[in-house]
Amino acid sequence: MLYSISCRRPACPRTIPERRTENLFASEPRDIHIASLGMPSSLQKTRKHIAKKRNGEVNSLHEKSRDSMRLHKAGVRDQRLEKLAAARSKREQPIVDRVAFVQENLNERGNSPLDLAAVQSLIHILIHQHDEEFDALKKARRSGRPPSAREDLLKMKMSALEIEYQKGFALPDVMTEENVKLLEDWEGSWSKLTTLTWIKVSRAGQADDDPGTSQSEQQLHGFMSWATLPNCHGGSLHSRAPLRFGRDEIMNKGTEGGASIVPTPQTGLMLDEPRDV
């Protein structure tokens, strides 16, 4: 018995009517954090690639087409990167504010290097810069009423700064002319902070020491923590004060002296944290 085999594929019935979305992604993509940094976003690059394939037009795409899915995926990725960048910027802002405060005070003093006593005076001013606002909020509060959120925030911030000052307050090195010049030229960007030399000054004029940890292992995310700073010097308990850390020492990620840095929730954010996801 012979069977006839047809090579023609039967037409599939269309149970769902085909719909087309007009002017999909025809408008310009909205401004996002990545675009504000001068970097092309994934959505922009994907639109450009699809437009080149379609002779310069991305006006009508089927909602389930590959190009439409690519545009949707690129847009979701840009939104995710925008949220991550916003969260990272929120964590970095206290460090930027601290450096800006030091820069402003140096400008008022003629941008000249300071001695240890002047540095301690500057730290005292930085810690107590919100005392007037805190006292005003405390006086405005009625008797028996709980403190406001702003009052609690200022109290916690000043307490954290006092604890850091006891262990070693981190700030740009304002005791050398070269670093003062770099700080004077700082335009407020996060990336330029790696070019500055940092010091830690305690209330007693010395930095907190730990013989078990190498100085070169200190990373900026722990070095600039607002509350508990990890110890970072590998010398004796009577090492020189204040301690100076350059860019190579801060950014080194290796292990020396048998100890390594393990990031903890108290260490904050690394300067060289990977930016891509």
Position 60 scores a pLDDT of 73
Q: Across-strand partners of 62?
A: 20
| Distance separating alpha carbons of residues 201 and 248, to the nearest angstrom | 20
Name which of 83-97, 130-144, 168-182, 235-249 the model is least confident about.
235-249
Q: Which residue has the higher pLDDT, 155 or 263?
A: 155
103-139: pLDDT as tens digits: 998 988 888 888 888 888 899 999 998 889 988 998 9
Average the pLDDT over 87-94 and give the result: 80
Structure tokens at 52: 């080149």
219-277: pLDDT as tens digits: 444 444 433 333 333 333 333 334 444 434 433 433 333 322 233 333 333 333 333 43
Confidence of residue 40 (pLDDT cuts 50, 70, 90): low
Instruction: Characterize 28-57 residue by residue with b for buried, 16 or more Cβ atoms within 10 angstroms of its Cβ, and e for exposed.
Output: ebeebbbbeeeeebbbbebbeebeeeeeee
- Which amino acid, one-letter code, is at 55? N
Instruction: Report domain extents, the chain.
Output: 21-82, 109-140+149-251
Task: Find the helix or strand (DSSP H, E) in which 61 lies.
Answer: strand 60-62
- Per the CB < 8 A criterion, the answer to whether 172 and 183 are in contact is yes
Confidence of residue 206 (pLDDT cuts 50, 70, 90): low
**In terms of C-beta density within 10 A (0-12 exposed, 13-18 middle, 19 or more buried), how is residue 244 classed?**
middle
The answer to whether residue 83 scores a pLDDT higher than 70 is yes
Helix, strand, coil fractions of the chain, as percent rounded to 5: 45, 5, 50
Topology of the domain comprising 109-140+149-251: de novo design (two linked rop proteins) (1.20.1440)
